[in-house]
A and B are shown apart, each in its own frame.
Chain A
Amino acid sequence: MIDRLQMLIMIALRNLRASPINLIIGALILGGTFTFVVLGSLLNSINASMAQSVIGSLAGDAQIYSAASKDELALYGSMGTDPDLKNVDQFPKIKAELEKLENVKRVVPMGASMAIVTSGNIVDLTLEKLRNLYKARAGEPTDPALAALSKDEINARITNEAAHVRQIIKVLQGDAEKALKDLIDEKSIDPEVVNALQRVSTDDFWASFEQDPFSSLEFLENKVSPQVSDAQMLPLRYVGTDLDAFQESFDRMQIIKGTPVPKGHRGFLLANFFYEDQMKLKNARRFDKIKEYLGAGRTIAKDDELTRFVKENRSQTRDIVLQLDGAATVKVTEKLQKLLGSQESDVSVLLGTFFDTDDSNFNERYDFFYKEIAPMLELYRVRIGDTMTIRAFSKSGYVHAVNVKVYGTFGFTGLENSPLAGTTNLIDMMSFRDLFGYLTADRLAELKQIQRDTGAKVVTRENAEADLFGGDAPVVTEAVAGAIDTDAQFSGETKKLRKEDLLNRVYSKSEIDDGVVLNAAVMLKDPDRTNETIDRINALSSEKNLGIKAIGWAAASGFLGKMIGVFGVLLLIGVGFIVVIAIIIIFGAMVMATIQRTQMIGTMRAIGAQRGFVQAMVLLESVMLGLVFGGAGILLSVLFMTWLSVFGIAAPNDVAYFFFSGPRLHPHYSVSNLVIAFAIVQTVTLISTLLPAVMASRISPLRAMQADE
């Protein structure tokens, strides 16, 4: 037996060397193994790092949402809108039930939506400056820097700012009038607005400004400023969540600027990427990007994107010019004249020249900008620590607004520059519910108060008719036309909403949990058992009637996960097709190799080799072929993958950071990749040898030896 095997192996080895066809088949096997290992490992690595990105930045190990929802959960939105989710009812109960499961570490409530922030209104900013100056003059400075100034200095500044305001309003008013002519439907204009605009354009208004500066300021702020608004509307995506639990659960999250939101407070955390990309002064942002790209070896001279940045920087100096008041303009002009050696006196021309950077002077100008010019500018549209007004369409289509303090910015380690991970901002659960138009603890209290005040009672469906129209209850109230006393109307919590103290209120854990939640992240103790736990949660939900559905990160990431799924299936189809064609070719080659050896096999049969022996010989030959070349393929691919994982693949663009879970992907191969690739190739080879082996064994010794060829 052993002898026979030894002989078989020796014959097979000899045949391997003898026939060049085997080299061709070998090349196919080697190439196939190599391709399958490399492709498989890359796909697995991308999948793993994407999982890391999604799980670590928003999804958690699993997500739950209401099973009655119309749409599927999509954490990153789907096609520009957020999915229509039904609220998760009785979240505290669900949370308690889930946290009883042994593998569940924590459940973090969430809800995502879009809002609009209006910011950067130059009129508002200048008016605020003016107000601070007046306050300082009145002896109650709000800005410590102003406290040190003498009265004369303050007066000089006031004159300066007031002229600035008047100038801005005049310019903006001109624009508005032009728009009225070309763009806007006259009928939609409120006459009060026209009157207000006319009043500020008169000299009388400005002459009498000093008599009652604060009421004049108020008039400008309330009646004029909204009409000549220069503000930009910035769409912003946010996720409402239990901020404390979020911070503790997602350990890749770190505060980059500012501070975390204090425990239980209302507050807003901006995604650092979003803050830099959308809220920073565009010229400064582009300067940062040019600096980053130059560091990566690109040049302004040869790179189209960088050339565009420089061009935009040169032409878009307006944001900077508008921010500079009289004194600052003089200072910047002097500094730029000195730097550029120019006699030009127009600051916007100087800035245009300054921003016309090339590869040789960029670094110098970059340093100059941040050292000399940036300190005089407001670099961000929203300052950390400011209170920001966020407006959002609630579910019912009405606009809700919430004032919320921006405590800081955050990012996820490795994903700092990823647009996908960096555009979702965080807001506390209470403000989220306000914005989304849902009942919150505060609103509920207000409703109760109103019910008590008005004596309203619940009208049930059965008794509706009797309660509303029948009976002899006295008329509650007669409608009276008249002015509305806003102070009396907005008592209670609505009024409080407009006041600062709501921002300082501390909410208890149960208040945060007890209310509308759209979805929730489930953090697990052992993430390797995610699928098992998801099944447990779904079983628990149907058992206890919780009405929720649990899904994994890929499903929760919405279209992103689906796209990866689709491309995975397409890849599978492609690989399947390749395998079929390879089988045909290898099969053909094997048949040829067998036919070629007809004579030899015939001789062997004649000297006593059994059919089984011939079959075994041919099969063993292909197994040897597979082992030798497949093994070489594995070795080659392991070497290649090791090389790849040491040097990594640089992300081709920002979007890829997310798929690579950082700026470079260091792909790893796993043993399973090797085994699978090897198995596929061996099976293909073996299958394609079966028929030739049978063919070979059918060769009759007589005919074979007679055959000429």
Chain B
Amino acid sequence: MKIVLLLMGLVAAVLLLALVITFLVATVRVFGSIYQVARNPSIALIAFRSLLQHRLRSGLLGGAIGLVTAGLLLVTGVSVGINDTLLTSATTLMSGHINVGGFYKVTSGQSAPVVTNYKKVDAIIRREFPEIDYIVHRGRGWAKLVSDTASVQAGVGGIDITQEAGMKRVIVIKEGNIDDLQKLDAILLFEEQAEKLGVKVGDRITIAAQTPRGTNNTIDVTVVAVAKSIGMLSSWNTYVNIEQLRHLYQLNEDTTGALQVYLKDIKQVPAVRERLRKVLSAEGYNLLDPDPRAFFQKFDAVNHESWTGQKLDITTWEEETSFVKWIVQILSFFATAVIFILVVIIAVGIMMVVWISIRERTREIGTLRAVGMQRSSVLAMFVTEGFLLGLMGTLGGTLLGLGLTFGLNSANIGLPKSWQFVFMSERLIVTPTATFVAFGIIFITGIITAISVIPSFLAARLKPISAMSHVG
């Protein structure tokens, strides 16, 4: 067993080494070729003409390269789309860019996701962090909603709608008025929950939950608004007036679930988070150790720690959505594997095409060499052929991909339910980004150019005399 493994390891290592060396050599040759072409642009012209001359071959391979580029564009577009939807829905529904949440433990075995004396925390953050765009505070709850005909278990967020500018921007109201959440006994549902509960705007529902002291409490609320779903996360969330949520959990005025901090620039998240930790501990707050999970996954750990009282927990939006991240990861793994296989196939294709091109033009090469063309120029000629084919193919593919993206987005394809879970969204969203377009073009053209070095090497090594006498 061990010997087999060792042997396999050895073979893999040798293969890997060979591959690395090939690529190093190829890269050097590619740069050499660039130099040659720069010195003598007619090389590029010859390469281009030769491509034009063999339309069928160039067209086929160029088409294949184009399809793969378009595929790459679509796959990355879908993955960016998923991430964007996740970001928008997460930062609207359940998280700020950064959250200052925390747990209050009445006894060491029981915790509530509450920040006490939050106004002071809020003031400190506003004072110390000019990077902040705005802060909202939200109550965190998990309760049973009961209508006349049905019941669902869902997250109940407590909000102060007058502060929720961001939320009002993103949430699309289907029925009712979101501003009615100012009323004490109001609730906002998403269409999926409203449908499940069989309620419309104006209907009453009961919310039942367990308070931090272990007793059960219920409140009655009126549905004031039904919103359109925004991604999968919205099926977990409902909103009530934060005052009402405090009544449900029998909490006092100066408590909230979490301060959701929105930054002007989301790229500053890691830096601000670090400084927040420093500032808040300097102010005498106890902080939980960083734990990259959503707050509701932490109860078990927190309940077994021996402290009581308040501890704050500073998290990012990515951590709060980590429980769905694995789906995105599987998806990207899968996409990478498919793209990898495709790139291998077209690499084989390009080797073949350049190699055939060389065989066909052996006599031509011989003549060119005989009239004084350098080996490096011959190599540069064929590498340029590969490069041009790759470039044209990827450019065409990018156009095709962008067209498809546009078509798919305007077709507004609704996804079936099980697909919504994987794609985090109600409909298929493809978001092409300049980065990935550039990446697709450079990556595929680069690989194709590098691969074309291998057969081109053979061409450059031909001796003029044998090349000229070559028949067929």
**Residues of chain A whose beta carbon lies under 8 Å from any beta carbon of chain B:** 20-21, 24, 27-28, 31, 35, 70-71, 79-82, 84, 114, 116, 118, 120, 122, 172, 175-176, 178-179, 182-186, 188, 226-233, 278, 282, 312, 315-319, 393, 395-399, 559, 562-563, 565-567, 570-571, 574, 577-578, 580-582, 584-585, 587-589, 591-592, 596, 599, 647, 709
Contact = CB atoms under 8 A, between A and B. Distances in A.
B213 interface: yes
Given A562-B418, A578-B338, A709-B472, A184 B250 contact: yes
B112 A183 contact: yes
Contact of B64 (A21, A318, A559, A585): A585
Given A179-B106, A228-B107, A580 B67 contact: yes
Given A176-B106, A183-B112, A318-B108, A28 B348 contact: yes
B107 A591 contact: no
Given A80-B153, A397-B218, A578-B341, A182 B208 contact: no
B63 interface: yes
B235 interface: yes
A397 B214 contact: no
Contact of A232 (B1, B303, B306): B303
B150 interface: yes
A709 B360 CA distance: 7
Contacts of A35: 341
B110 interface: yes
B121 to A, nearest CB: 13
Contact of B107 (A118, A175, A282, A319): A175
Given A175-B106, A396-B146, A563 B63 contact: no
Interface string B279-312: 0000000000000000000001101111011100
A592 B57 contact: yes
Contacts of B216: 399
By DSSP majority rule, is chain A's interface helix, strand, loop, or mixed? helix
Nearest to A35: B341
B332 to A, nearest CB: 12
Given A186-B252, A571-B334, A232 B109 contact: yes
B217 to A, nearest CB: 8
B106 A185 contact: no
A229 B107 CA distance: 8
A182 B104 contact: yes
A176 B308 CA distance: 10
Interface in B127-148: 144, 146
Nearest to A189: B250
B369 interface: no
B427 to A, nearest CB: 15
A467 to B, nearest CB: 24
A582 B345 contact: yes
B430 interface: no
Interface string B30-50: 000000000000000000000
Interface stretch (B173-181, B351-359, B446-454): B351-359
Contacts of B301: 312
B422 A563 contact: yes
B170 to A, nearest CB: 21
A184 to B, nearest CB: 6
B154 interface: yes
Nearest to A190: B215
Interface string B59-74: 0110110011001000
B451 to A, nearest CB: 12
Contact of B57 (A231, A580, A588): A588
A578 B344 CA distance: 10
Contacts of A230: 107-110
Contacts of A565: 418
A183 B71 contact: no
A96 B42 CA distance: 88
B110 A596 contact: no
B86 to A, nearest CB: 15
B28 to A, nearest CB: 25
Contacts of A114: 153
User: Of residues B56, B105, B144, which shows the largest number of chain A Cβ atoms within 10 Å of its Cβ?
Assistant: B144
A425 B392 CA distance: 61
Contacts of A398: 208
Contacts of A116: 210
Interface in B98-119: 104-110, 112, 114, 116-117
B206 A118 contact: no
B236 A233 contact: no
Nearest to A398: B208
B346 interface: yes
B356 A21 contact: yes
B29 interface: no
Given A231-B110, A578-B338, A184 B214 contact: no
A142 to B, nearest CB: 26
B22 interface: no
